[in-house]
C-alpha cells in the first residue's frame, strides 16, 4: 500500500503508517497529537515528504477527520535549496442550472486544465534587491489532479515551480484570471518539502478583461502592520487601496469596493409622490452610514438615489453576496421571490381590510391554512421557495395551501397570551427583552418640551400605584427594586399625530409599570396611553388598570394590545434593525477599508461580518423601503425609518451597547466585582440577561486572550496605524452624525481594544440572535404580539362605544391587523426567524474556513471558547428545567432558548450565528 493511499484512509491505525517508515514526529502531527506552535510537516526524506505533501491539499479539510490535523507552518520557514514545489489551486464551481452555465463550466474546466485559465505569481516575504519588492515566481496553472473529489462542485488544478534556494518563505500569491468569466477561489496550497503553506481565499476572482489587476491572496499568517515582512509591505498597502476604490461612480456587481453613503435609497419619488422619503444621515435625520452603491439620483429628488426593484440585486461588494450553498436553500433571490411572489399572491387572495371575525379564524391559519391563488406558471416558483415552516405543501397546481406552523407561544398553552403574567414575562424572556427598566424615581416625568407636548407629569400617580400594591408604598417598592417600567412615551409621542393621520392605523405613546412580587413574578399594574395635546385636552392621557369587571377587563386587554404594538415597532425598528443591522454595517465597511486581511483583528472579526451587507441590502429593497413590509404592517407606517432615526439620535451610544453596560443603564443590574461579568442582576429570573451574561463573558474571555496574544508589547496598540485608522473611520465616517460625542471609548490599551471588540461581537452574535430568532415563535400568533393597531380604545362619549359594549370581541379583533396584514407579517417573521443550513454558529468555523490562521495558540483559544459555549448550553438547559425560575419553566411556559448557542436549520427559536446573516 502506498504512503499516499495510507494517509487517505482514516480507518488505519498509527502503527500501520509508522510501519511505512514515516517518522514518528510526522505521524503524531498528522493525527493532531502534538500541540507545539511551531511544529511543521517535515522529514529528511525528500521523496517521502513529496508524496505526503502532494496528497495534503484543501480537499482533505472537507472531511471531519482533517479538522484536527495541524497544518500550520512557522512564519520563518524558508526553502533551503532550489527545489520543485507543487501549487494546488482549489476552485468551487457554480451550481449548473442552465445550458449556458453548463457550457461556461465546461469551458472553464478546459481553460484551467490546459493552463490557459489562470496565472499565479508566488511572492516571497523577502525583498528582491533589484525590484525592491517581494521576490516573485510566475507560472500558468494547468492539469487536473487525478483524485476523484467527493464534491462534484469542487475542482483542483496544479502547477509546479522551481524555487531558488534564496527565495525565502512565500507570503502571498497573485492570481490572474485569464478566462472571460469570474471563478470562486477557495484557496491555494503550496507544497514544499518543509510542509504545506496555506493561502485561504474564499473569494471571487474576476476576469482580467473586467478587472486587469491581479488578486492578492495572503498566506494564513497574521501580522500587525509593524511586523509585516518587507516583501509584503507593498502588497498589504495595495490590497487596502484596491478595496477602498473611488468615491464617485456607480458600483459594478463584480467589484469589491467598500465605501459609505447615507440611506438615500429607501424612497421612490419618481414612481409616486407618496413614496418619497427623507434622506437618513445628516443633521436633520442622523443615521449610521451604509455601503455605497453609487447609482444615479432620481429625477424628482437630486438627493435621493434611484432604486433597484425586485428581482434585480442591489450592489454589495462581490464577496459579501450569499454563497451558493446559502443561495441553494435561503438565497437572496429566493428570499426576494418569497416577498415578490408570495405576498402578492396573499394580496390577491385575502381582502386587505377584512378583519378576523373570531379567534377560530386565526386558529385555522395553522390547522386548515389559506387557499392561495396563483396561476400554473407560478406553481413551480412556490414549490422552490424555501418555506421550512410557512408552507407545508402545495396541494395542486394553480391552487396552493399556505399553512402556518403553530407558534411556540401557543403550542403549549393556547390562552397564555391572555394572562397578565405572560404579558409581563415576555418583557424579560420574549423577543424584545431589552426595554424594561427599573423605576428609579417618582413621579414619572417626560423630557419632551411641555410647550409642545403638554405637562411632563405622568398620570400614573403614587395613589394609583399604591392602590394596586395594596400594602407596599411607592417609596418602599422603589427602594426594594420592585417597580419597573417600559416607557415609550418620549420616543413615540412626536410621531403619534402623523401616524394616526394615516389610514387604517392608530397608536398611542405608552408607558407600562410593573410590580415584582415577593413570589418572584412580574405583573403589570398600570398602562398610560397618551395622545398629543389639543386645546380641549391639554393633558390628553388615560391610565388603565386591570380592573375586575367585564368592561375593565376588555379595555385592559385593548390597552395591552396597544402596548404590544408599540413594543413590536420599537423592537423591529430600533432594537433589531437599527442597533444590530444598521449600526454594524459601518464596522464591516471600515474593517475592510482599514484593516488588511492579514491583520489579526481582521481575522478575528471576519466570521462576524458574513452576509450582513447582503441581508441589509435586501432589507433596503424589500423590508424598510417606502411601501415595504415594515411600513405596511408595523405601527409607524411610512414614518418607520424616521422613528428609527429619532431613536439613533436620542438613544444610541456605542458604550452602552455592551450587555453589562446596558443592564446597568436600565437599572436591571448593579456593579458587583465579585460576579463573573462584574454585575449582579436585580431580577435573578431574567432569562435574556442571565443567559446573555454567560455568552458575554465567554466572548470577553476569548477576545481578551486573542488581543493579549497579538499585542504583547506595551505600545503595540497605539503604534498600530491600521487599528487607529479603523477606529477613527468607524467614528468619523461610519457613524458620522455621532462623531463628536464624548462617550466614544478611547483606543489606547489592550483593555480598550478588548472592550470594543467584545461589544461588536456580542451585538452581531448574541444580541442579534436574542432579538431576531424569536420573531415567529412569539409574533406568529397575532393577538399575542400585534405589530399594528387599527383603532383607538373607545370611550363613553365615542360612537363606537356602544358597539364595543355589545360585542367586545369584535372590537378587539377589528383593532388588530387585518387578515392580509397579519398573514404578510407572519410570512415575513417566518423568513426572518429561519436559520439556513450553512449557518456558522458562534465558536464554530465553516469547514472551508478552517485554515483562517496558522497560529496554534489561537486555535487552542478558539477550541476553549467553543468548549465553553457547549458548557453554557448545558447550563441554560438546566436553568430551563428549574421550577424555581418561573419565567422559563412552568405549566405551558416555553423554555427560554434564544441564547442557546447551537441550532439546526429552520425556525428553531434557538441558535447564535456568528454574524447577522438574516
Q: Which three cell numbers stand for residue 297?
A: 439620483
Angle at 845 between CA 242 and CA 336, to 5 degrees: 70
Element (H, E) at 388: none
Instruction: List beta partners, residue 445.
Output: 457
Residues carrying an active site annotation: 576, 581, 768, 772, 918
Q: How far apart are CA 256 and CA 592, in angstroms?
A: 10
Backbone angles phi, psi at 758, to 5 degrees: -60, -40
Do residues 50 and 1 lie in contact, with contact meaning Cβ atoms separated by under 8 Å? no
Asked if the peptide bond before residue 560 counts as cis, ω within 30 degrees of 0, the response is no
Asked if the peptide bond before residue 311 counts as cis, ω within 30 degrees of 0, the response is yes
Backbone angles phi, psi at 547, to 5 degrees: 70, 170
Strands (E), 665-776: 669-671, 679-681
Cα of 687 vs its chain's centroid, Å: 21
How far CA 902 is from CA of 836, 845, 870, 899, in Å, comes to 13, 13, 8, 9
What is the rounded end-to-end Cα distance, in angstroms, of the chain? 49
Q: Which three cell numbers stand for residue 11?
A: 480507518
- Residue 161 in 3-state DSSP? strand
Do residues 654 and 759 lie in contact, with contact meaning Cβ atoms separated by under 8 Å? yes
Closest alpha carbon to 458 in 499, 508, 510: 510
Q: How far apart are CA 197 and CA 190, in angstroms?
A: 5
- Residue 170 in 3-state DSSP? strand
Q: How far apart are CA 841 and CA 887, in angstroms?
A: 26
Q: How far apart are CA 656 and CA 759, in angstroms?
A: 9
Residue 223 burial (CB < 10 Å; 0-12/13-18/19+)? buried
Return the sign of the alpha-carbon dihedral for residues 785, 790, 792, 795.
negative
Element (H, E) at 798: none
Do residues 135 and 125 lie in contact, with contact meaning Cβ atoms separated by under 8 Å? no
Closest alpha carbon to 752 in 786, 727, 721, 789: 727
Q: Which three cell numbers stand for residue 539?
A: 393633558
At a CB cut-off of 8 Å and minimum separation 6, what does 636 contact?
Answer: 495, 499, 507, 569, 573, 642, 643
Backbone angles phi, psi at 433, to 5 degrees: -95, 25
Amino acid at each position: 500500500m502506498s504512503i499516499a493511499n495510507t494517509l487517505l484512509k482514516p480507518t488505519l491505525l498509527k502503527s500501520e503508517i509508522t510501519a511505512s517508515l514515516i517518522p514518528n514526529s510526522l505521524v503524531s502531527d498528522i493525527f493532531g497529537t502534538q500541540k507545539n506552535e511551531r511544529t511543521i510537516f517535515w522529514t529528511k526524506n525528500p521523496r517521502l515528504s513529496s508524496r505526503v505533501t502532494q496528497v495534503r491539499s484543501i480537499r482533505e479539510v472537507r472531511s471531519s477527520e482533517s479538522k484536527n490535523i495541524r497544518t500550520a507552518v512557522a512564519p520563518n520557514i524558508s526553502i533551503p535549496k532550489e527545489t520543485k514545489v507543487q501549487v494546488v489551486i482549489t476552485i468551487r464551481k457554480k451550481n449548473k442550472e442552465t445550458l449556458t452555465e453548463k457550457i461556461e463550466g465546461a469551458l472553464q474546466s478546459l481553460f484551467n486544465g490546459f493552463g490557459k485559465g489562470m496565472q499565479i505569481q508566488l511572492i516571497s516575504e523577502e525583498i528582491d534587491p533589484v525590484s525592491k519588492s517581494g521576490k516573485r515566481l510566475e507560472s500558468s496553472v494547468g492539469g487536473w489532479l487525478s483524485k476523484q473529489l467527493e464534491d462534484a462542485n469542487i475542482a483542483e488544478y496544479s502547477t509546479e515551480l522551481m524555487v531558488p534556494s534564496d527565495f525565502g518563505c512565500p507570503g502571498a500569491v497573485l492570481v490572474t484570471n485569464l478566462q472571460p468569466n469570474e471563478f470562486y477561489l477557495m484557496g491555494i496550497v503550496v507544497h514544499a518539502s518543509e510542509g504545506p503553506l496555506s493561502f485561504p481565499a474564499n473569494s471571487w476572482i474576476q476576469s482580467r478583461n473586467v478587472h486587469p489587476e491581479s488578486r492578492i491572496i495572503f498566506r494564513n499568517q497574521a501580522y500587525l502592520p509593524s511586523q509585516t515582512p518587507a516583501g509584503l509591505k507593498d502588497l498589504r498597502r495595495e490590497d487596502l487601496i484596491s478595496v477602498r476604490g473611488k468615491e464617485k461612480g456607480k458600483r459594478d456587481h463584480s467589484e469589491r469596493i467598500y465605501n459609505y453613503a447615507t440611506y438615500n435609497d429607501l424612497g421612490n419619488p419618481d414612481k409616486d409622490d407618496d413614496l418619497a422619503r427623507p434622506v437618513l444621515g445628516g443633521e436633520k435625520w442622523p443615521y449610521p452610514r451604509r455601503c455605497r452603491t453609487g447609482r444615479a439620483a432620481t429625477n424628482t429628488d437630486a438627493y435621493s438615489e434611484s432604486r433597484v426593484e425586485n428581482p434585480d440585486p442591489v450592489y454589495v461588494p462581490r464577496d459579501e453576496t450569499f454563497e451558493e450553498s446559502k443561495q441553494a436553500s435561503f438565497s437572496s433571490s429566493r428570499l426576494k421571490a418569497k416577498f415578490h411572489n408570495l405576498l402578492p399572491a396573499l394580496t390577491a387572495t385575502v381582502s386587505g381590510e377584512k378583519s378576523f371575525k373570531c379567534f377560530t379564524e386565526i386558529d385555522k391559519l395553522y390547522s386548515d391554512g389559506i387557499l392561495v391563488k396563483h396561476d400554473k406558471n407560478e406553481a413551480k416558483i412556490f414549490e422552490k421557495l424555501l418555506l421550512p415552516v410557512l408552507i407545508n405543501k402545495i396541494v395542486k397546481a394553480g391552487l396552493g395551501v399556505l399553512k402556518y406552523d403553530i407558534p411556540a407561544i401557543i403550542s403549549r398553552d393556547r390562552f397564555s397570551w391572555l394572562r397578565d403574567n405572560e404579558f409581563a414575562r415576555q418583557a424579560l424572556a420574549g423577543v424584545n427583552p431589552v426595554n424594561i427598566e427599573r423605576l428609579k424615581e417618582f413621579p414619572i416625568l417626560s423630557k419632551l418640551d411641555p410647550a409642545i407636548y403638554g405637562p411632563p407629569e405622568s398620570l400614573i400617580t403614587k395613589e394609583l400605584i399604591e392602590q394596586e400594591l395594596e400594602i407596599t408604598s411607592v417609596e418602599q417598592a422603589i427602594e426594594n427594586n420592585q417597580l419597573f417600567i417600559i416607557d415609550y412615551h418620549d420616543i413615540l409621542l412626536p410621531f403619534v399625530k402623523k401616524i394616526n393621520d394615516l389610514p387604517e392605523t392608530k397608536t398611542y405613546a405608552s408607558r407600562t409599570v410593573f410590580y415584582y412580587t415577593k413570589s418572584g413574578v412580574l405583573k403589570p399594574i398600570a398602562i398610560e396611553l397618551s395622545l398629543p395635546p389639543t386645546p380641549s385636552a391639554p393633558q390628553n392621557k388615560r391610565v388603565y388598570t386591570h380592573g375586575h369587571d367585564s368592561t375593565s377587563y376588555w379595555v385592559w386587554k385593548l390597552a395591552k394590545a396597544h402596548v404590544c404594538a408599540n413594543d413590536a415597532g420599537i423592537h423591529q425598528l430600533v432594537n433589531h434593525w437599527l442597533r444590530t443591522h444598521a449600526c454594524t454595517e459601518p464596522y464591516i465597511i471600515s474593517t475592510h477599508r482599514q484593516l488588511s486581511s492579514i491583520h489579526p483583528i481582521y481575522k478575528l472579526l471576519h466570521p462576524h461580518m458574513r452576509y450582513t451587507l447582503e441581508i441589509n441590502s435586501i432589507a433596503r429593497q424589500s423590508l424598510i423601503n417606502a411601501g415595504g413590509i415594515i411600513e405596511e404592517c408595523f405601527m409607524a407606517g411610512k414614518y418607520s425609518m424616521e422613528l428609527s432615526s429619532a431613536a439613533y439620535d436620542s438613544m444610541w451610544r456605542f458604550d452602552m451597547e455592551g450587555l453589562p453596560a446596558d443592564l446597568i443603564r436600565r437599572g436591571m443590574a448593579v456593579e458587583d466585582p465579585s460576579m463573573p461579568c462584574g454585575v449582579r442582576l436585580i431580577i435573578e429570573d431574567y432569562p435574556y440577561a442571565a443567559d446573555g451574561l454567560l455568552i458575554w463573558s465567554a466572548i470577553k474571555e476569548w477576545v481578551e486572550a486573542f488581543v493579549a496574544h497579538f499585542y504583547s508589547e506595551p505600545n503595540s496598540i497605539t503604534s498600530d496605524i491600521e487599528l487607529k485608522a479603523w477606529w477613527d473611520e468607524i467614528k468619523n465616517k461610519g457613524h458620522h452624525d455621532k462623531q463628536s460625542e464624548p462617550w466614544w471609548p478611547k483606543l489606547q490599551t489592550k483593555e480598550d481594544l478588548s472592550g470594543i471588540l467584545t461589544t461588536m461581537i456580542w451585538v452581531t452574535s448574541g444580541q442579534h440572535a436574542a432579538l431576531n430568532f424569536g420573531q415567529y415563535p412569539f409574533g406568529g400568533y397575532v393577538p399575542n404580539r400585534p405589530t399594528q393597531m387599527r383603532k383607538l380604545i373607545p370611550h363613553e362619549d365615542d360612537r363606537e362605544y356602544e358597539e364595543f359594549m355589545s360585542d367586545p370581541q369584535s372590537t378587539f379583533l377589528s383593532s388588530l391587523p387585518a387578515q392580509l396584514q397579519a398573514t404578510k407579517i407572519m410570512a415575513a417573521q417566518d423568513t426572518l426567524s429561519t436559520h439556513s443550513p450553512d449557518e456558522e454558529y458562534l465558536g464554530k468555523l465553516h469547514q472551508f474556513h478552517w485554515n483562517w490562521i496558522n497560529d496554534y495558540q489561537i486555535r487552542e483559544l478558539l477550541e476553549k471558547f467553543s468548549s465553553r459555549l457547549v458548557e453554557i448550553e448545558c447550563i441554560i438547559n438546566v436553568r430551563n428545567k428549574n421550577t424555581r425560575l418561573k419565567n422559563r419553566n412552568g405549566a405551558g411556559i416555553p423554555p427560554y432558548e434564544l441564547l442557546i448557542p447551537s441550532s439546526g436549520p429552520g425556525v428553531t427559536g434557538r441558535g447564535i450565528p456568528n454574524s447577522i446573516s438574516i
